[in-house]
Chains A and B, each alone.
Chain A
Amino acid sequence: MIRVKFSALAFAAVALVAASALAALAQDEAEQPKPPRQDWTFSGMFGIYDKAQLQRGFQVYKEVCSTCHALSIPFRTLADPDGPGFTEDQVKTLAATYQVTNAEPNEKGEIFKRPATPADLIPRPEAYPNDQAAAATLGKAPPDMALLAKALKYERGFPWFVFDALPGLEYQEMGADYIHAILTGYTKPDDLQWNLYYPGHKIAMPQPITNGAVDYKDGTPPTLDNYAKDIAAFLSWAAEPNLTERKRIGLRVMIFLFVFATLLYLTKKRIWEWVH
Chain B
Amino acid sequence: MSGPSTYVPKSAIGRWFESRLPLMGLVHSSFIAYPVPRNLNYMWTFGAILSFMLVAQIVTGVVLAMHYIPSATEAFSSVNDGIMRDVNYGWMIRYMHSNGASLFFLAGYIHMFRGLYYGSFKPPREVLWIIGVIIYFLMMATAFMGYVLPWGSMSFAGATVITNLTSAIPLVGNSIAHWLWGGFAVGGPTLNRFFSLHYLLPFIIAAFVGLHIWALHVAGQNNPDGVEVKDVERDTVAFTPYATIKDVFGLSVFLILYAWLVFYIPNYLLDADNSNIANPLATPAHVVPEWYLLPFYAMLRAIPNKLMGVIVLFSAIVVLAVIPWLDRSPVKSAKYRPAYRFFFWVFVLICIGLGYLGSQEPTEGLALIARIFTFGYFAFFLIIMPVLSFTEKTRPIPTSIADAVLTKTKTAAVTAG
Contacts and interface: CB of A to CB of B under 8 A. Distances in A.
A and B physically associate:
yes
B9 interface: no
B252 A249 contact: no
A272 B244 CA distance: 11
Interface residues of A, number: 49
Interface residues of B, number: 46
Interface string B250-291: 001101100110111111101111011000000000000000
Interface string A236-276: 00011110001101100110011011001101100110011
Contact of A254 (B260, B339, B365): B260
Interface of B: 38, 80-81, 84-86, 91-92, 95, 237, 241-242, 245-246, 248-249, 252-253, 255-256, 259-260, 262-268, 270-273, 275-276, 339, 342, 346, 349, 356, 365-366, 369, 372, 405, 409
A275 B242 contact: yes
Given A241-B85, A264-B248, A265-B249, A271 B372 contact: no
Given A164-B268, A257-B252, A10 B349 contact: yes
A172 B267 contact: yes
A172 B339 CA distance: 43
Nearest to B271: A153
List 5 tightest A-B contacts by C-beta distance, closest first: A250-B263, A153-B272, A151-B275, A150-B275, A242-B91
A238 to B, nearest CB: 10
A54 interface: no
B263 A253 contact: yes
Interface string A135-160: 00000000100110011110000100
A165 B264 CA distance: 9
Given A151-B272, A264-B252, A13 B369 contact: yes
Contact of B273 (A151, A174, A247): A151
Contacts of B263: 246-247, 249-250, 253-254
A268 B81 contact: no
B81 to A, nearest CB: 7
B92 A167 contact: no
A225 interface: no
Interface of A: 3, 6, 10, 13, 16-17, 20, 45, 72-74, 77, 143, 146-147, 150-153, 158, 164-165, 167, 170, 172, 174-175, 239-242, 246-247, 249-250, 253-254, 257-258, 260-261, 264-265, 267-268, 271-272, 275-276
Nearest to B240: A271
B369 A239 contact: no
Given A147-B275, A257-B256, A264-B245, A72 B81 contact: yes
26 contacts: A3-B342, A6-B346, A13-B372, A16-B369, A17-B365, A17-B366, A73-B81, A73-B85, A74-B86, A77-B85, A150-B272, A151-B273, A158-B356, A246-B91, A247-B263, A247-B264, A254-B260, A257-B256, A261-B252, A261-B256, A264-B249, A267-B245, A268-B246, A275-B38, A276-B405, A276-B409
Contact of B265 (A74, A172, A260): A172
Contacts of A16: 365, 369
B272 A174 contact: yes
Nearest to A266: B249
A77 B84 CA distance: 13
Contacts of A165: 265, 268
B273 A261 contact: no
B16 to A, nearest CB: 33
Contact of B256 (A240, A258, A267, A275): A258
